[in-house]
Amino acid sequence: MPRKIRLEYPGAIYHVINRGDRREDIFKDNEDRRKFLAILEEACGKTEWQVHAYCLMRNHFHLVIETPQANLVAGMKWLLGVYTKRFNIRHKLCGHLFAGRYKALAVDGSGSGYLRTVCDYVHLNPVRARLLKPKKALETFAWSSYGEYLKPSRQRPGWLRVDRLLGEKGIPRDSAAGRRQFALDMERRRTEELAMDHGEIRRVWCLGSEEFRQELLAAAGKRVGPSHHGGERTETGIQKAERIVQEELGRLGWRADELSTRHKGDKAKVRLAGLLRKETTMTLKWIAERLHMGSWTYVSNLLQAQAQSGNSGKGRRSVNSED
């Protein structure tokens, strides 16, 4: 049976779900959840994703993400691969963590209420799972973005975008009054949640108007090759990396051919490699070849040494594997 198409285009919004292999836990404790959110933050830095909602349950997660670039597949490959690797290292395990292919439901972001529907669905997951007693406030569930919506903007992670959901709820400003209105609306929705039928969200491949669905089907008909997406997604990742390379070459005053003539461990090359790792999803192998730095393991060791010496920038993690 062929895989369902994976449509990617600039500005797309997706409801992404993935479960543990054999429905086993993907979060064993709160430290795992903190690590997942930290890796999600890294992924957003690399891909420019904007997160509208998230919820971390015991054996699965929900994300509502907007992709300004057509890079869902590259970003999810990095996110799931890196989390799996770090989870396995922490718990001294090996092998698969997630149950095959993640589900990505395309969401109509035209302002017609579909984004509101799916974000409410995500934020009310703890209610459906009966993890909250009736008198417990919804924000007491710590591992969803709902509680972040109730905070002032300066206290939220920079990758969480709240304005579109507030707008679809008719809340004009991200103010104290607007946040109170948001909380009242969600508590009202909470009382209705257990009686609601969410079959549409669970069964369909896209959530939106008929016009939106037809546009996606037309785009799917233009896909190139067996991978179900055209060249645009691959080009955007490489184009971003190439732009960074060219900008840094210009800043350094280097000619393009100097990358091949300078020593593979040149400090400027190492800094550029670190920048590419932080801001793109390109692999260490690609970076090593593009910057003429030898093997990817050599680049990994250089970046790890750079991080340990404190030259890699505040907060940058050590790189010790080709993720």
Q: What confidence tier does 215 reach under pLDDT thresholds 50, 70, 90?
A: confident
Q: How many Å apart are CA 52 and CA 14, to the nearest integer?
A: 10
pLDDT number for residue 278: 86
Does the pLDDT at position 246 exceed 70? yes
Question: Which class for 131: exposed (0-12), middle (13-18), buried (19 or more C-beta within 10 A)?
Answer: middle
Mean pLDDT is lowest, of 89-98, 152-161, 250-259, for: 250-259
Q: How many Å apart are CA 271 and CA 261, to the nearest integer?
A: 17
**For residue 18, what is the enclosing H or E element?**
strand 12-19
Q: CB–CB of 20/59 below 8 Å?
A: yes
How far is CA 109 from its chain centroid? 17
Instruction: Mention every residue, 6+ apart, whose C-beta is less than 8 A from residue 7.
Output: 106, 216, 219, 220, 228, 229
Which sign does the torsion angle of CA 307, 308, 313, 317 carry? positive
Comparison of pLDDT for 212 and 202, the residue scoring more = 212
Does the pLDDT at position 293 exceed 50? yes
How far is CA 163 from its chain centroid? 18
**For residue 191, what is the enclosing H or E element?**
helix 176-193
Does the pLDDT at position 212 exceed 90? no
Average pLDDT, the chain: 86
Mean pLDDT is lowest, of 37-51, 84-98, 241-255, 308-322, for: 308-322
How many Å from the N-terminal Cα to the C-terminal Cα in the chain?
30
The most confident of 160-164, 208-212, 227-231, by mean pLDDT? 160-164
CA angle 278, 83, 292 (to 5 degrees): 35
Q: What is the mean pLDDT of residues 107-128?
A: 92
CA atoms within 13 A of residue 245's CA, in its CB half-sphere: 23
Q: What is the mean pLDDT of residues 51-64?
A: 98
Q: Dump pLDDT digits (tens) for 163-184.
A: 999 999 999 999 999 999 999 9
Closest CA to 195 of 281, 102, 128: 128
Q: What are phi and psi of 106, to 5 degrees?
A: -70, 135
Q: What is the mean pLDDT of residues 87-102?
A: 93
Q: Percent of the chain having pLDDT more than 90?
A: 63
